[in-house]
Structure 1
Amino acid sequence: MEPIVLIPGLLCTETLYAPQISAFSDRPILVADHRQHNSIEAIARSVLDKAPDAFALAGLSMGGYVAMEIMRIAPQRVTRLALMDTNARADTQEQTERRQVLIRMTRERGFNKVPHLLYPGFVHANRAADENLKSVVLEMAEETGPDAFIRQTEAIIGRLDSRPSLGDITCPTLVLVGDGDTLTPPDLAREMHEHISGSELMVIPDCGHLSTLEAPNAVTEALKAWIGSTSQFSPR
């Protein structure tokens, strides 16, 4: 049965995919470790070193950046691709400056406040006061830790613009985004969808950036359709 490789986002662990891991318990699943390197390419190569010879690949946010790098390095090993709440563009100067502020804050004043500052952007506006979801997000951040956060952030800052290589993707591809995702909005998902011939675009209602946790049932159903497809999705 086709294995699945899942790549989490910034400050996220395998908990990000807990509902989906449960749903796909009938097949091998590898949750990638994206905490050890400070470049997207190095992370991608480390994932490939540990992954099966052929696998379905899904990444959310930063995980999507790594997934797109894997598609440049070893597209022949990927049987299908899911890009969730992510963005094919390189970092803007404004985004880089904000990330560098968080790196400096972590180094000079500690990491404790950083996850709290990031949380509102991670979720739909109607979940800003969801203490249960917030506790899950903060627990993942604590498990990730300050050193890995800095490495991840440096990797995100240095990522390539993936738009020129999206047209080379030929495997069945799902592009998924929450309609209330403010970090990687639906327009950026549509851009990826338009660049990947035959891809499927799915916009999840009442959902923010962490779609796998915010709308687990809808995302899992979308992934079941994706993993069950035998050819390119029909364009919409």
Structure 2
Amino acid sequence: MNTLPLLENHHAPLILLGGTLCNARLWQPLVEQLNVSHVSCVTISGADCANAVASQLLEVLPARFCLVGFSLGAMVALQMVALAPERIAGLTLLSVNPLCDLPENAPVRRAAVAQAARAGLARWLTENLWVKYVAPHRLDEAALYNTIIQMAKETGIDTFAQQTEIAISRTDRRSALAAFRSPTLILNGAYDVICTPQHHQAVAEAAPYARWITLPDSGHFIPLEAPQLAAIAMRNWIQESKA
């Protein structure tokens, strides 16, 4: 689990939990748009289940913080809500699937890790995930592609294996959202085929105080595809979380 140094602040710092094969590069365009200084970016690693990762984070994070989770990071964020809702001043979930993984997905996921180890993460991701990651009209954007490939290489196969086990073993924590009273924001991309509108509908139905926004030109990778639009929504959410 890699984090940037946490900074003390009168307000709750912003904690950003990345997705599978993601590191701090995921958040850079969004953080630049938010213009906030008290931020920590987390690469999900260090354990092979969401509960263990969430517990490790809660041991080192400040007493109160604003929490943002993307994809796999959103699953861990939901676990943190279940464990310590009183410590979370506000919650944003981007590209989230709140459901348990289907049992038949486990061998497929583990086989993918083995394939990536043999072929190399860059080649495997290009051949298997790139077309699903971003909106169709962004598939030819070299800078976007290069950033995602670079993150995968930097994250590495061992972390990918751990992250895969987290995805396999995750549990449905929507019930924790029903009692969660802090400001909650849900963002999804209209072209996301990994975490679909139905997944986000399931979260929104479980979170009675949440605001749900669909970004019309984005796929799965909202922080890289639509940082400006995401930042507009998140700036309002941050102000509400400070109230």
TM exceeding 0.5: yes
Match of 2:142 among 118, 131, 156: 131
Give the counterpart letter for 2:162 in structure 1. R
Aligned-partner Cα distance in 1 for 2:122–2:31: 29
Closer/same/farther in 2, CA of residues 29 and 196 from structure 1, 3 Å limit: same
Match of 2:189 among 178, 201, 205: 178
Q: Which runs of 5+ in 1 are unaligned?
A: none
Do residues 99 (structure 1) and 70 (structure 2) align? no
Do residues 65 (structure 1) and 75 (structure 2) align? yes
Aligned-partner Cα distance in 2 for 1:27–1:132: 25
**Cα deviation 1:147-201 (Å, max 9, x = unaligned):** 0000101111110012333212221100110011000011211211111012100
Give the counterpart letter for 2:53 in structure 1. I
TM-score, normalising length from structure 2?
Answer: 0.89
The sequence identity of aligned pairs, in percent, is 28
Deviates more, 1:70-79 or 1:86-95: 86-95
Give the counterpart letter for 2:226 in structure 1. A
Write out aligned runs for 1:21-60 (5 A).
21-60=31-70
Aligned-partner Cα distance in 2 for 1:111–1:213: 19
Question: What SS is found at the alignment partner of 1:229?
Answer: helix
Do residues 203 (structure 1) and 214 (structure 2) align? yes
Give the counterpart letter for 1:201 in structure 2. W
Do residues 122 (structure 1) and 120 (structure 2) align? no
Partner of 1:220: 231
Structure 1 runs of 4+ aligned residues shifted over 4 Å read 107-110
Aligned-partner Cα distance in 1 for 2:234–2:92: 8
Indicate if the aligned counterparts of 2:122 and 2:152 stay in contact, CA closer than 8 A.
Answer: no
Task: Quote the offset at 1:33 in angstroms.
Answer: 3.2
Do residues 12 (structure 1) and 22 (structure 2) align? yes
CA RMSD of aligned residues (A): 1.8
Do residues 189 (structure 1) and 200 (structure 2) align? yes
Closer/same/farther in 2, CA of residues 107 and 21 from structure 1, 3 Å limit: same
Closer/same/farther in 2, CA of residues 65 and 202 from structure 1, 3 Å limit: same
The alignment covers a number of residue pairs equal to: 232
TM-score, normalising length from structure 1?
Answer: 0.92
Aligned-partner Cα distance in 2 for 1:216–1:228: 18
Indicate if the aligned counterparts of 2:18 and 2:42 stay in contact, CA closer than 8 A.
Answer: yes
Give the counterpart letter for 1:218 in structure 2. L
Question: What SS is found at the alignment partner of 2:22?
Answer: coil
Q: Which runs of 5+ in 2 are unaligned?
A: 1-10
Partner of 1:77: 87
Question: What SS is found at the alignment partner of 1:88?
Answer: coil
Deviates more, 1:74-83 or 1:87-96: 87-96
